Amino acid sequence: MAEAKKSRKKTDEKATIDNLGAGLGNKPPQAVDFEEAVLGALLIDANCVEDVMEELEPNCFYEPRNRTIFEAMSKLVNEHVALDLLSVGEKLKAMGKLDEVGGTLALVSLTERIAAAAHVEYYVKVLKQKCIQRELISAAYEILKGSFDDGANVDELIDMSQSRIDAAINNNVKRDFRDIGSVIKEATDDLEALQTRSGISGVPSGFETLDKYTLGWQQSNLIILGARPSVGKTAFALNVLRNAAVDSNMPVAIFSLEMSAIELVKRLITTESGLPADKIKGGIKMDPQDWDQLNYSLKAISKAPIYIDDTPGISITEFRSKAKRLVRSKGVRFIVVDYLQLMQGPPELRGMREQEVAAISRMLKGTAKELNIPIMALSQLSRNSVQRTNSNNRPMLSDLRESGSIEQDADIVLFVHRPDAIGLGDTVEDKEYTEIIIAKNRNGQIDTIPMRFKGGQLRFVENTSGTFESAMNSEASVQSDYSPFPSGDDFSNSSFQ
């Protein structure tokens, strides 16, 4: 039944391409003579069978009769049966397709089309090129049809367009095996390049101890940052985002499904300026010195390559489309999603929450691999993390909410744990004490990193001095009355540009 549907789909695509070609006064790209030459080579030379089967698929054959014969040959190869006139004819007969392709005489005529299989590699190359051209025509038709649909979702249309074109090319480009010698050479070249760097090969977090375990956020990695509500997930993610953009001048982006763009920017202003959050929110009036401090401190972050999308309830397909555009047009190297459970999964999984979250998690990982950048997705935790009485209520991997697939898809899982957030902090030091728990690290160690959370300034500070001199984690920032001004200087005339 499935094969029948697949066959009808291929037939419909061929009819569509034929109609388009007729409308333009052209024949669809095809090379029927080369198709017959390849089939003839498969029948007379067993040495070329494996190479041809590895490179070609049935849709590489334009002529339906030739496609059917190749499908029969593919089945025989999978059944470990040698290809010859008798075996292929018998398989076609069993499929009920022998008369459809012209009988045994048609198979005999194929062997007469080619004297030797010496040039079959070239024939295969031609067939693949024609196949790519046909698939691009089919993709263009689908894009054109969707573009004329007034009810189409534009972001989904863009994502479909990019995916169809990429698939038309990538599906016909096989990745060959590699000998270990060439891979070792590539690995040693990479090691040599790392010797000239600071040791961080990925996107730096700005926290020295964390970067020792991760060497920065690595390409293609999915990082999950989990915590209970109001513990500091967004604040920590913004600290990391800011450090990459301001200190390392790396283009970054954040998709905020919970907060508006202006709320996020106010948080960044609070962190960067060192001013109390109540002043930035407007609860406490700012004096002239505060304005000078604000204007001076924001010069760097105002020019930082940070891009914000605050679309509420964004679908995973819309996210993929926008992420691709950001990487291609802005060179974005790190993306944060705040937060995973607020995204919308595939429409067919709506109402099946666990499967929907699992699909979102898989697609986030797939997007990170496709774009070759790290993606950090924030995640809520279940109530189990605060109901346990052991281990100071520290969160565990099993606490990730709504799907076990999240921990499976993630390369790194981090938890923000603040004892004060669950009523276990008494002194000022206790209230600031925070643990960044590395619960999973596919390519490194797991551990717990002690930090302090400056709630008034939305900053996380390591107990040891930070790697970067920033408003977040420099030694000066540990002081509660931190100011970015050099002592003794007057910035009363400074202005925010």
Q: Catalytic residue positions?
A: 258
Distance set, CA 210 to CA 64, 177, 438 (Å): 58, 36, 9
Cβ burial, residue 435 (10 Å; 0-12/13-18/19+):
middle
CB distance 93 to 165 below 8 Å: no
Q: How many Cβ atoms from other residues are within 10 Å of residue 423's Cβ?
A: 9
Distance set, CA 483 to CA 23, 204, 271, 363 (Å): 71, 24, 11, 43
State which amino acid sits at residue 492.
S
CA-CA distance, 458 to 28, in Å (whole number)?
A: 61
The arrangement of strands across the sheet holding 222-227 comes to 306-309, 252-256, 334-338, 375-380, 222-227, 412-417, 433-441, 447-454, 459-462
Mention every residue, 6+ apart, whose C-beta is less than 8 A from residue 403: 354, 357, 358, 361
Task: State both tokens at 437.
Answer: 């728990």
Q: How many Cβ atoms from other residues are within 10 Å of residue 148's Cβ?
A: 7
CB distance 392 to 434 below 8 Å: no
Instruction: Please report how the helices 288-302 and 261-273 are oriented relative to each other, as an axis angle in degrees rounded to 10.
Output: 110
- What is the enclosing helix (H) or strand (E) of 450? strand 447-454
**Pairing state of beta strands 447-454 and 459-462?**
antiparallel
CA-CA distance, 82 to 49, in Å (whole number)?
A: 9
Task: State both tokens at 332.
Answer: 């974005």
Task: State both tokens at 160.
Answer: 């479909």
For 205: left if phi > 0, alpha if psi spans -120 to 50, otherwise beta; the answer is alpha
Read off the DSSP letter of residue 481. T
Distance set, CA 174 to CA 42, 51, 54, 325 (Å): 20, 12, 8, 26
Classify 72 as helix, strand or coil. helix
* Residue carrying structure tokens 């390559």: 305
> Angle CA(68)–CA(71)–CA(75) in degrees, nearest 5?
145
Classify 376 as helix, strand or coil. strand
